[in-house]
A and B are shown apart, each in its own frame.
Chain A
Amino acid sequence: MSEPIHLKSAHSLRDAIRAKEISAREAAEAYLDHIDAVDGDVRAYTDVWREPALARADAIDSQLAKGEDAGPLAGVPIGLKDLICTTEGTTACCSELLKGFRSPYDATVAEKLYAAGTVVLGKLNMDEFAMGSSTENSSVVTTRNPWNLDCVPGGSSGGSAAAVSAHECAISLGSDTGGSIRQPAACCGCVGMKPTYGRVSRYGLVAFASSLDQIGPFSRDVEDCALTLNTICGHDRRDSTSANLEVPDFTTSLTGDVKGVRVGLPKEYFTDALGVEIRAKIDSAVKVLESCGAEVVEVSLPHTEYAVATYYIICTAEASANLARFDGVRYGNRAPDTQSPEEMYKKTKSAGFGAEVQRRILLGTYVLSSGYYDAYYLKAQKVRTLIKQDFDAAFEKCDVIVTPTTPTPAFRIGEKSDDPLSMYLSDIYTISANLGGNPAISLPCGLTESGLPAGLQIIGRPFEEGAVLQSAYAFEQNSGIDLGVPTAIAESVS
């Protein structure tokens, strides 16, 4: 019997659909059936678009039947994080306040994915407004880690990571403000990439922290990651911070070769905070790269220890303004029976926002408030400059930087819920790339003793996604690591 459709990578599925060995409808049905089988356990989706997906798949099939080019990802079933605006279905950011919200427009990335021929299966769970590292802050449901249903999938794009790992879509999109793609990718054992700030349009991405947010793909291998980047990257006149640069064909970087590539290991990332098991995985990953011809050098990112503090000032400050618009006036859910605008705001927000969102709004309001701006916000923006300068200096000595993605594997559901600060510190290795605007990928580098995935992070110079993908692909192809189907769902797959 041939390999089940939903176990195929996006690129092999796409090839099979182009060759008319599989129809787009069959692919969509296979995935939708698999969602029915496993999502009761994984809970990755907040909204499954069965009928629209099948209609879309049929449209792709008829395009192919007419001999038309249906796009580079024709018929590939995908999922979107619930903060990417789509006219289809709802875009609620997993918040009570936006529950049921129907966007009147499509995000630029959604338009691009439609044009590429993908079939969107639905919206994926997340921490409310992307604030969290565990997907426990969703107002809808808590997503489970497909490798251990008692563990979190990471966050905030936990649904996007879990769905790809559990084969509930071939690829998905998430957003990464401080690690929200890479950390769940590491936790769930899939590939997740945050492109350079400015590489992917943010138009239609519900903003958490505007200067840090970036949309990126989840996939089961590096080639699919490159293919998706080819589709979603590029200049957009609707996003003033979008880079007006040529987008290379990223698949040309997938040579399997890293001869002469200088791999930098930042000494500040390899401290006692890093779990022994993860450290061992990273060490052997570095050896794989070395064996493929890479040159390993030690580099220093001296301001690393200030990254988390810097990040939480900047992201909460921006979030406090970005989330002010959710007031129940023009859209969203307004608290009933209020007598004044102020009462309307207060009741709507207090009822509509979860605890973490309120906490971050308050922190952001505080750091911007009269008398504190210089001490917090301005200071943080200065330290951000230092952190970027660290990267610039390190990248004089190396071409890519290799680090662990997370200090520990996925933690248990509920374990950190009462300790926001320790939750914040789980992003310790991913935050700097957001502050510097650098592209960074996480890909699986093995399973721990407890059977949970570990992630390898590769960071590149701004707009050098190609270099990141080159090293990632060389590692993937030469490490012999294939996590296979996650244990917790293996039964439903066979």
Chain B
Amino acid sequence: MSTITEKDVEYIANLAQLTLDDSLKARLVGELGNILDYIDKLNELDTDGVEPMMHVQPLTNVFRDDEIAPSLPRERVMEAAPKHDGEYILVPQILEGD
């Protein structure tokens, strides 16, 4: 039986870079708990020796040739960016070790 705690929710929210206010956090503990309880159904199944699926179609070695294709015009890149100086996309200062 999986029990997900408030601490777990905080931990994964941090990994996912989400902030949750207290009421949302409490709600999610309940909801995710329910879902995980349901998901625990899978433990009924013996899957020893079963290969995990990676791809539903058995394709391998799909490669592209090493050829240069046109890039985007820089103005188009900048146009999409929320913040830029025309050359670089700007973000809040990255500190070493962040």
A contact residues vs B (CB 8 Å cutoff): 101-102, 104, 197-198, 211, 237, 240-241, 243, 303, 305-306, 308-310, 312-313, 320, 324, 327-334, 338-347, 349-350, 353, 355, 358-359, 361-363, 365-366, 369, 376, 378-386, 388, 420-421, 424, 435-437, 462
Q: Is the CB of A331 within 8 A of B80?
A: yes
Q: If the complex has contacts A313-B39, A328-B82, A344-B92, are A211 and B56 also in contact, measured as CB distance less than 8 A?
A: yes
Q: How many residues of B contact A (CB 8 A)?
A: 54
Q: B15 contacts A365, CB within 8 Å?
A: yes
Identify B94's interface contact among A309, A341, A355, CB under 8 A: A341
B71 to chain A, nearest CB (A): 11
CA distance A324 to B12 in the complex (A): 13
A104's partner among B39, B56, B80 (CB-CB below 8 A) is B80
| Inter-chain contacts of B79 with A (CB < 8 A) | 102
A305 to B72, CA, bound (A): 47
Q: A382-B50, A385-B51 are in contact. List 9 more A-B contacts (CB 8 A).
A: A306-B42, A312-B35, A313-B42, A324-B16, A342-B98, A343-B92, A369-B12, A369-B15, A421-B31
Proximity bits, B45-86, A CB within 8 Å = 1, else 0: 101001111111101001010000000100011011111000
Give the distance to chain B from A128, nearest Cβ to Cβ, in Å.
15
- Which residues on B are within 8 Å of A, measured CB to CB? 4, 8-9, 11-13, 15-20, 24, 28, 31-32, 34-36, 38-45, 47, 50-57, 59, 62, 64, 72, 76-77, 79-83, 89, 91-95, 98
- Whether A309 pairs with B42 at a CB distance below 8 angstroms is yes
Beta-carbon contact of B41 and A305 below 8 Å: yes
Q: Write the chain B residue with the least CB distance to A387.
A: B53
Enumerate 17 A-B pairs (CB-CB under 8 Å) in ascending A order: A104-B80, A198-B57, A241-B57, A306-B44, A312-B35, A341-B94, A341-B98, A342-B98, A346-B18, A346-B19, A366-B12, A378-B52, A380-B42, A385-B52, A386-B45, A388-B53, A424-B35
A388 and B9 within 8 A (CB): no
Contact in complex: A437, B39 (CB < 8 Å): no
A-B contact number at CB 8 A = 159
Contact of A363 with B17 at beta-carbon distance under 8 Å, contacts A385-B52, A386-B47 already known:
no
- Is B92 within 8 A of A330, CB to CB? no
Most-contacted residue by chain A among B18, B76, B94 (CB, 10 A): B18
Given contact pairs A341-B94, A386-B45, A386-B50, A436 touches B16 in the complex (Cβ within 8 A): no
Q: A330-B81, A344-B91 are in contact. Are A359 and B18 (CB under 8 A)?
A: no
A332/B42 in contact, CB under 8 A: no
Q: How far is the CA of A334 from the CA of B83 in the complex (A)?
A: 9
Provide the bound-state CA to CA distance between A338 and B79, in Å. Answer: 21
A3 to B24, CA, bound (A): 53
From known contacts A339-B92, A341-B98, A386-B45, infer whether A309 and B18 are also in contact, taking CB-CB under 8 Å.
no
Distance between Cα atoms of A354 and B92 in the complex (Å): 24
Query: Which A residues are in CB contact (< 8 Å) with B77?
Result: 330
Residues of A contacting B51 in the complex (Cβ-Cβ under 8 angstroms): 382, 385
Contacts of B28 in A (CB 8 A): 359, 362
